[in-house]
Each structure stands twice: as C-alpha cells, then as structure tokens.
Amino acid sequence: MTYLTLVRHGQSDWNEKNLFTGWENPGLTNKGLNEAKETGRALKEREFKYSYLYTSILDRAIDTANIILDILKIEDIKTFRDAALNERDYGDLTGLNKDDARKKWGEEQVKIWRRSYDVPPPSGESLKDTSERVLPYFKKEILPLIINGNNILISAHGNSLRALVMFIEKLSPEEILQKEISTGQPITYAFKENSFKEIQSS
C-alpha cells in the first residue's frame, strides 16, 4: 500500500483578512501555524512516513510542510518546489478584499469568477487553467513515484489541490466546485492496484 497526502497550507495573513491571495506570498498566522502543527500530529498518529515532499514555491505552503516534517521527525526526505503547484492566479482580484471586489464588480460576477470552472478573473486563471499546469506536473513528476511504491506529501493550496482531487477522485467540474478544501486539513489516499482511495480520518 502506498500513500499520498495532500495538505492545504495553514491559514495565511491574507486568508484572515479575506483577501484574494493567489501568487502573493503572505506568511502564516498563529492559527495557521497551529493548523500545521495539528496536521503534523494527526499524520504522526497514523504513523505515515514519506519519501518525497512536493510544495509550491510560496512560503505558506513551504512553512506548513516544514512544521509537519518537524513533528514527524523526518529529516531525510527528497524535496521539490515548483510553481506548477502554486495557488490559482487571481489576476486583477489579487490583494482585494472579497467584499470590496463584490462592490466593484457585483456579487454575481465575483461568484462566477470564484466558483465557475473555466471563467477566469481579469488577467488571472480559472480552475481549468490551474488544472492545466498542475496535472501535467503531477502525472510526469509525482505519479510515477507513487506507482513505484513511494509515499508522497504535497503541501500546496486550495485550488491547486482541487485540481489534484478532481483528477484523483474522477470528479466532474461541477462536483469539484462543491468541494471545500480547508486550511491545514490533510487528505490522504491509499494507492493500490492502480487506483486511489481516500482514507477517512479517525
């Protein structure tokens, strides 16, 4: 049995302020640090061990991963950071408070940008666009390692992980848009006989 664990970073400073973050690089809040620690403890209870760590190039994902590894006492792990795993680029929405964006463009338009699969905000990415950079990277760099029996930890972002969950769970665009991926909550899959199955948290 091989394991893949996906973790969305802990709460960031911009999450707390309700800002569109995208590729900007705010740090973790105290709550975010605690979420990362709780994730580490939860994975330690399950006695998961990992051979490879993949993160985006953004500090909130890297810091979350480092906290988890520290709690798991994993020092010898092959680590890769790549912008392919970055959060969705929110373009002109980046840095705006979500309530202010609704006032500027209207609630319905902002909802379309946030919750449609293939309509990007101005100068930004849709979830479809995000998937088109995340999935080729996953299939080329990560999936072969899983097939060869390596346990993998990925620390990334709500939408880059949504793209992975959509692929792994074979969800439709409509189904993935309904799925919430909370900060600091691990999702672990067992890989066996060429398919993934989510392991429910105890």
Q: Which residues are catalytic?
A: 9, 87
For the residues of 131-175, what is the DSSP string, one character each?
HHHHHHHIIIIIHHHHHTT--EEEEE-HHHHHHHHHHHTT--HHH
Question: Which amino acid is it at 153?
Answer: L
**Element containing residue 79 per DSSP (H, E):** strand 78-81
Task: Judge whether 160 and 134 are in contact, CB under 8 Å.
Answer: yes
**How far is residue 112's CA from residue 180's CA, in Å, rounded to a whole number?**
16
